[in-house]
Structure 1
Amino acid sequence: MSADPVPADLDLLYDDVEEGLRASVRSLLADRCPWSAVLERVETDAPTDVALWKELAAMGVAGLPVPERLGGAGATLRETAVAAEELGRAVAPVPFLGSAVLATTALLAAGGEAADGALARLASGEVSAALAVPLATAPDTPFPQTVRYAPGAPGSTSSPDSPADGRAASGTLTGEVGGVADASTAGILVVPAVGADGPGLYLVEADSSVRLPVTSLDLTRPLATVRFDGAAARPVATGPAAADALHTALVSGAAVLASEQLGVAEWALTTTVDYLKTRYQFGRPVGSFQAVKHRLADLWVAVSQARAVARNAASAAVHGGPEAALDAALAQAFVSDTAVLAAEEAVQLHGGIGFTWEHPTHLYLKRAKADALALGSADRHRMTIARLADLPPAQWEA
């Protein structure tokens, strides 16, 4: 990502390309990912829909920000955010956040031959990837220390365990990371680790690790504990470059996650309004009662504001720089609360049916609650905003 200043006349509206992408993704999800299919899938031992992910990859969704020379769409994080919005609207059980956002932006920020090889595989849909950090990791978290890197012997040769592009691994990783999103079905792991030379970012074939499923609130986004015991690894970036790449990935992830949360909130609002138009009590639609109207009006305002904040964060992430971190924190501080509110209102205003397993509202409430903790809580992001805005420390430090 470049560090160019964010344009003063930043356009938050969706352009024709983004609307076309939205229509294509929404059409595919309506056909292949209705809520009934999602509910049925999360009750199995394989909640991730790998087949759907390959179809999305064929549309270019898996590699939207990947350059065309590597087989990607050559788009930006604005388009990535549009796809995230639609995937959130469908609570699609696919590894979009872990692979197409976190791992991809980390590799794009790192650059180099090893990163390019992995990005080509991700964009084609051959494999998915995961960034091996806990999903709750906030962008301003210090570089992880739980995985250690040990360089290999000089002149080591390629082996079946060599990472990413079949070349010889130049070292090994040992350690454990908990709560990693989308690791269970990943073919590649992008792993932050520390060694004698400081922080580094490494590529590891996922089969050379041990991945243990973790029970999570959001059944549509599986988490796993990942263990490395001498796993073959190839460096992508080391030193400050590795730390910068990880920070860029987490900031970009927080920005795009806001659009996913927006999709959840939009579904909750639209579905609730439609239901209250047809649900009758005392001989009239429930939606005609003034108290219900006020709640829906307040929610509509909040969702409209959330859309502007999320679009601003995605646009800022394209340009990078300090504004990207500030706008991503602002988006998470506001949109995560809005998504939770919208899902809670959907459950309550659907009455008794909204509390049942057979209705999809619980899927959206769980996604909203889990997303509110992903990549930092709203309170954590408010502290980040205060720090980046140069408020006196006494006003924001815990």
Structure 2
Amino acid sequence: MSVQYELVEKVVKAGGTVGVNCDYTDIKAALDDIADNSAGKRYVLRILNGTYDVSNDGNLYLGLKNYVDLIGQSRGGVRIVKRDDDYSDAKNVFDTAYYGQRIEYASLRNLTLIGYNLKAPVHIDDEYLQGTIELVDCTLINENTPDMGNYRNGLACGLRQGQRVVARGVHSNGMLWMHNGFEAYAGEGCRFELYNCISPFIVIGELITYGNDTIVIEGCRAEFLRYLYIKGVAVQQLRPYVQSSFSFELRGNSIDYVEAVTTMDLGYTSVPTAFDELCEGKWSISDPSIHQFVRNTGAADIVRGSLVSRNGDGVKRWASGERLYGMALDVILPVDYGIVQDRGIVFIPVHPDTEIAEDEPVELDASGRAVRHGRGEKIGVAQGRYAHGDRPLKVKLTKSQLS
């Protein structure tokens, strides 16, 4: 049964003539004038190609309204720009908080959003969202520099129970990130869904809701996915134990690695202990494109972070002369099962006297350290330059090591 509603369309054209080729020349004015929007009367603002500059306009951000879709004429042709002179992390290009109204549904489509001296092109973190917000075929550009706050934000969300954010075909030069809240509740929690998106990395922040929050990442490209356990927040004392709220659905992605870290300072520094503290040490986020669930068929324990080789229908600890299969993400006792990463990027210790250039092929020496490729079997390619140090080297595993 189809849902019946009235649809009202208005045209916004930068530099246009109202009453001749558009209804508005300004996006905010068009949004401000909508007063009777509802599930039964929905609005579409058709944003024609052009640059809509809201820099230094005296507002913190543009808003979203219930059952109002902002649809650009073309993704590259519609540019909404907010480059303010003074920095504030309260500023965004779009934010759900502006109108202070309940939002059951709203969307941004076919738009390029550019921000400078602000938190993010799109920010969603309030009680007003009580349904779904969609971003479809949008480009999010954050022009902040590394010396500024929030320079890595593309889409930034803090979600509560019943809230859902869906991004489809979003391209961003900053991270796509969300965190949940502090509430303890029964039933389904929030949902954060990414489909066919491209960004440098994706971050999921765990504030411990003790709920049932769902993350869907499908067909996306990012260097890594970070699970960030944000520890030490006072309201986490809701119960005498901690428990992760998230279930992850990862399908068909091109993500080079997954990391699980704990932070005491909201992410400025972190240590790789999230699964130790929340999941009894077992690796709990798997992406089938880079992870395998395998059995230790060897005689020795496999330590987390150690290299492994094939052994019959399972794996064993790698030894010199054997073909590398991957790196263990779990402690795997003999006959037990665990997660091994066999594709993407892994971090391998390097001989301290070694110099390795970016994109240079590498192999393993007899002790399992990465060295420049020579006569041995190539295991991958260096992702970054290495010179006389003690930090691990990022190595993109090659398909030849898997055959």
Q: What's the TM-score, normalizing by structure 2?
A: 0.22
The structure, 1 or 2, with the larger RCO (C-alpha pairs under 8 Å, 6+ apart) is: 1
Greater helix share, 1 or 2?
1
